[in-house]
C-alpha cells in the first residue's frame, strides 16, 4: 500500500508524509512481532527480573533502616521499593543491554544492504527498537511491578500528573537509549570490532543509569554533573524518580525536559555519525 503511495505522483502534499508515517508504523510492527516470537525467553527473563527485584529491594530497605531519618538520599522505604520494582519492569523496556545488531551487520558487511533501502538505517533501526520497547512494555513491565506490590508496600502516586509524565519519560528514555546504543554500535564503522565500546556501555549504563542504586546516594555535585553532562541518568533514574515522586512537580517536569533535550541530541548525533560513516564507506569502497 504505502509503496504505491510513495511512487505514484500525488497531488496532495500530505501524500509522501502519510506514506512515510505508514512505513515507520510498519517497521514498528515488525520490531514488535520479532520479539513476540520469543515467548519462552520472555517468561524466563521476567522470572530473572523478579529475583533481582527481591535482591535489590531487600538491600535498599536495609539501607533505609539504618539511614538518618530512614530516608537515604531523600527516599522513604515505599519510594525505594517503587524505585526498585519499576526499575526491574523498565529494564527490558528501555533495553540498555544486548543490542549489537548494527555492529554485527557492519562487521559482516550486511550493512551495505541496509544502505540500499529507501529508509535510512537510523530511522529503520529506531522504528524496530520502538516496536521492541512496545512489546517489552506489554509483556515485561507489569509482572515485576505486581510481584513487588504483593511482597512490599509500594508508593502510590499522589499527583495525577505523575502517571502521564512517567509515560512520556519512558518514551524519551527509550529514544535516548536507542541513540546511545546506536553510537556505541557505530564505532564498528571505524574500529571493525565494537566489542570494547559495547562492553564499556554495558558496564557504565547499568551503574550510571541508576539501575543498581539510586544515583542520589552519590555526592550531589557529581550527580548534577552526570545528569547534565551525560545522557545516562536520563535512561532509568529520571523515569524512576518520576514514578517514585522523589521531587516536586516543577523539578519532575524539568528532569523530563532535560530528557527531551537529550533525546533530540542523541538522535541528531546518531544521524550525523551515520552520514559520516556512509561517506567514509563510499570513499573507501566498504
Partner 1 sequence: MAEFRAYVALGTAQIRSAASYRASFLVELFGNVGATVFDVLTVLVLFRATPAVGGFTLREAILIVGISSAGFALADMLVGNVDKLKTYVRTGTLDAVLVRPLPALPQLLLMDLPVRKALRVVFGFVVLGLAVAANDVAWTPARVLLIALAPLMAGVFFSAIFVTSASLAFWWVDSGEIGSAFTYGGRDFTSYPISVYGSWFRNLFAYAMGFGFVAYQPALTLLGRDDPLGLPSWTGFLSPLVALVAAVIAGVVWRSGIRHYRSTGS
Which residues in this chain contact partner 1 in the complex, by CB under 8 A? Answer: 38, 40-42, 44-45, 47-48, 51-52, 54-56, 58-68, 72-73, 151, 193, 195-196, 199-200, 203, 206-207, 212-213, 217-218
Hey, what's the cell of 158? 499522589
| Number of H-type helices and E-type strands within the chain | 14, 0
Q: How far is the CB of 20 from partner 1 (least distance, A)?
A: 35
Please say which residue, 165 or 215, places its beta carbon nearer to partner 1: 215
Q: How far is the CB of 139 from partner 1 (least distance, A)?
A: 13
What span, in angstroms and rounded, lies between the C-alpha atoms of 233 and 209? 4
Q: How far is the CB of 91 from partner 1 (least distance, A)?
A: 11
Please say which residue, 15 or 197, places its beta carbon nearer to partner 1: 197
Contact in structure between 73 and 214 (CB atoms under 8 Å): yes
Q: How far is the CB of 87 from partner 1 (least distance, A)?
A: 14
Residue the block writes with cell 558496564: 203
DSSP 14: T
In a 13 Å sphere around the CA of 98, the CA atoms on its Cβ side amount to 8
Q: How far is the CB of 167 from partner 1 (least distance, A)?
A: 27
Q: How far is the CB of 17 from partner 1 (least distance, A)?
A: 40
Beta strands in 32-177 (DSSP E): none
Please say which residue, 208 or 242, places its beta carbon nearer to partner 1: 208
What angle do helix axes 249-284 and 220-229 make, rounded to 10 degrees? 50
Q: CB neighbours (10 Å) of residue 193? A: 12
Please say which residue, 39 or 280, places its beta carbon nearer to partner 1: 39
Q: How far is the CB of 246 from partner 1 (least distance, A)?
A: 14
Backbone angles phi, psi at 159, to 5 degrees: -105, 140
Report helix, strand or coil for 37: coil
Please say which residue, 85 or 166, places its beta carbon nearer to partner 1: 85
Q: CB neighbours (10 Å) of residue 196? A: 11
Please say which residue, 61 or 264, places its beta carbon nearer to partner 1: 61
Hey, what's the cell of 182? 546506536
Report helix, strand or coil for 158: coil
Please say which residue, 82 or 187, places its beta carbon nearer to partner 1: 187
Amino acid at each position: 500500500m504505502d509503496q504505491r503511495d510513495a511512487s505514484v505522483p500525488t497531488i496532495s502534499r500530505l501524500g509522501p508524509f502519510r506514506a512515510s508515517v505508514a512505513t515507520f508504523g510498519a517497521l514498528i510492527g515488525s520490531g514488535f512481532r520479532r520479539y513476540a516470537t520469543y515467548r519462552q525467553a520472555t517468561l524466563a527473563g521476567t522470572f530473572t527480573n523478579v529475583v533481582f527485584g527481591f535482591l535489590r529491594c531487600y538491600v535498599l530497605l536495609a539501607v533505609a533502616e539504618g539511614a538518618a531519618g530512614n530516608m537515604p538520599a531523600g527516599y522513604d522505604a515505599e519510594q525505594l521499593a517503587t524505585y526498585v520494582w519499576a526499575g526491574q519492569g523498565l529494564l527490558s523496556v528501555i533495553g540498555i543491554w544486548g543490542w549489537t545488531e548494527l555492529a554485527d551487520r557492519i562487521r559482516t558487511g550486511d550493512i551495505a544492504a541496509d544502505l540500499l533501502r529507501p529508509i535510512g538505517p537510523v530511522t529503520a533501526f529506531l522504528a524496530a527498537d520502538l516496536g521492541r520497547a512496545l512489546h517489552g512494555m506489554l509483556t515485561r513491565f507489569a509482572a515485576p511491578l505486581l510481584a513487588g506490590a504483593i511482597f512490599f508496600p509500594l508508593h502510590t502516586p499522589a499527583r495525577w500528573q505523575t502517571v502521564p509524565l512517567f509515560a512520556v519519560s519512558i518514551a524519551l528514555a527509550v529514544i535516548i537509549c536507542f541513540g546511545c546504543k546506536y553510537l556505541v554500535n557505530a564505532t564498528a564503522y571505524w574500529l571493525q570490532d565494537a566489542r570494547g565500546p559495547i562492553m564499556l556501555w554495558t558496564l557504565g549504563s547499568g551503574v550510571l543509569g541508576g539501575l543498581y542504586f539510586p544515583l542520589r546516594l552519590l555526592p550531589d555535585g557529581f550527580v548534577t554533573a552526570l545528569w547534565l553532562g551525560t545522557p545516562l541518568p536520563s535512561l532509568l533514574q529520571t523515569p524512576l524518580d518520576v514514578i517514585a515522586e522523589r521531587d516536586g512537580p516543577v523539578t519532575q517536569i524539568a528532569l523530563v525536559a532535560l530528557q527531551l533535550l537529550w533525546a533530540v541530541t542523541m538522535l541528531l548525533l546518531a544521524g550525523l555519525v551515520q552520514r559520516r560513516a556512509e561517506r567514509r564507506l563510499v570513499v573507501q569502497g566498504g
